[in-house]
Amino acid sequence: MLSRVANTLYWMLRYVERADNMARLIDVNEQLLLDWERLDSERLRDFWMPIVWSAGDDSLYSELYGSGHSADVIRFLTDDRRNPNSIVSCLFQARENARTVRDQLSDELWEELNSLYLFLNSSEAERMLRDDPPKYYGLIRRSVFTFQGIASSTIDRGLGWDFMDLGRHLERADKTTRFLDISTFLPPSAPMAMHWNAIVKSCGAMGAYRALHAGMVEPRKVCELLIFSRTFPRSVRYCMSRVQQSLHAISGSLMGDYSDDAERITGRVMGQLNYGVVDEFLKEGLHEALDGLQTQFNTIGEEVFESYVLMPHVIATTHPSKQSTTTMRAWQYQQEQEQQ
């Protein structure tokens, strides 16, 4: 498979996953705020800004909106094309990726993503976001589910799939850590129980949580489920084990061994997750621990690119001109710009 194609499939899934997670988060947060005492716009904003902070987009936000109202934050996260991590930006980017590798995708898969794109670009979408936000976010999430379903029933389980699955799970692991990290940024007055409820709901994990624990949602138990569960599909451990499987399927190297740094670091993270316990993890502080995971996820992403797209070991030794490498770097740089 062409390196560029593999990279594009990988990013397509990351963008779809990113958009889906943001849609969940906003939807749940909106529902939640309805339950609370009436808040003025400024206090409301305090409950929206943590989402921006946890995504690391706060400087762009203040550049565009200053302090702004809660409605501005929602806009920024949802359909502001100037924010490369807004739902709409991510889906447009995913669709652009799909367009460039259209020949690799089933018609149905392309049509689903393209239809979502056409909808988001329509005046109908604008009206729906204004008049009926739950319907708007629900429609996006449903479409993403459909996309994932079509992908899993139409895409051949070869290299292309491995790169897609890798992108999906690396992004999902990262997003789960960011959901958890929102608690770091909430105002001290925030009712914590409700907040942890929201996190569990955003991950669609309420059913799984209830099956394990009766009573109130407790932060420690939420962390245990969302970080250490071996079986819950959005837990960090589950996602990273899928990342590990994909990496080994791609390289053909044995589990327990590694052929490049992406596999090595993934293996190290898996050791931490397979044999770690939640109390130990929380000892250094939740935020610090999550930050540590996110840094490793970033490195894994970079190393995948190095091994399969840039291939300095192949290109540098055989290709006299450096131009192609520079072009690829420039392109990757552009991709990175879009993801930060």
Partner 1 sequence: MNTLFDGYTPWAGYDEMFESDGSVRSCCQSLKNVFDGLSQKEFEERKAASDLYFLRQGITFNVYHDEKGTERIFPFDPVPRVLTAAEWEHLEAGLTQRIVALNLFLHDIYHEQHILNDGTIPRMYVDEAKNYRAAFRGMDVPKDIYIHICGSDLVRGADGQFYVLEDNGRCPSGASYLLENRNALKRAFPALFETSDVRPLDSYPRELLNMLRYISPVREGDPVCVLLTPGCHNSAYFEHCYLAREMGIPIVEGRDLVVVDHFVFMRTTKGLQRVDVIYRRIDDDFIDPVVFRKDSMLGVPGLMSAYRAGNVALANAVGTGVADDKVMYTFVPKMIQYYLGQDPILPNVETYLASEKQDLGYILDHLPELVVKAANESGGYGMLMGPSASKKEIEDFRAKLIEDPRNYIAQPVVSLSQSPTWTGEEMSGRHVDLRPYIIYGEDVKIVPGGLTRVALTKGSLVVNSSQGGGSKDTWVLRS
- CB-wise, 48 or 258, nearer to partner 1? 258
Q: Rule CB under 8 A: which of 107-136 touch partner 1?
A: 107, 110-111, 114-115, 118, 121
For the window 309-338, what string marks contact with partner 1 as x by the rule CB under 8 A? x-x--xx--xx-x-xx--xx--x-------
Q: Closest separation between CB of residue 331 and partner 1, Å?
A: 7
Contact criterion met (CB below 8 Å) for 177 and 239: no
> Which member of 11, 258, 297, 308 binds partner 1 (CB under 8 A)?
308
Contact criterion met (CB below 8 Å) for 31 and 59: no
- CB-wise, 117 or 297, nearer to partner 1? 117
- CB-wise, 9 or 236, nearer to partner 1? 9
- CB-wise, 5 or 278, nearer to partner 1? 5
Q: Rule CB under 8 A: which of 159-178 touch partner 1?
A: 159, 163
270 belongs to the binding site for partner 1 (CB under 8 A): no
Contact criterion met (CB below 8 Å) for 223 and 285: no
Nearest Cα to Cα of residue 294 among 6, 56, 78, 14: 56
Helices 70-78/58-65 angle, 10° precision = 120
Tokens of 248: 């080994």
- 80, with CB counted inside 10 A (0-12, 13-18, 19+), is buried
Residues in the interface with partner 1 (CB under 8 A) total 35
* Strand, helix or coil for residue 72: helix
Contact set with partner 1 (CB under 8 A): 1-6, 92, 96, 99-100, 102-103, 107, 110-111, 114-115, 118, 121, 159, 163, 250, 308-309, 311, 314-315, 318-319, 321, 323-324, 327-328, 331
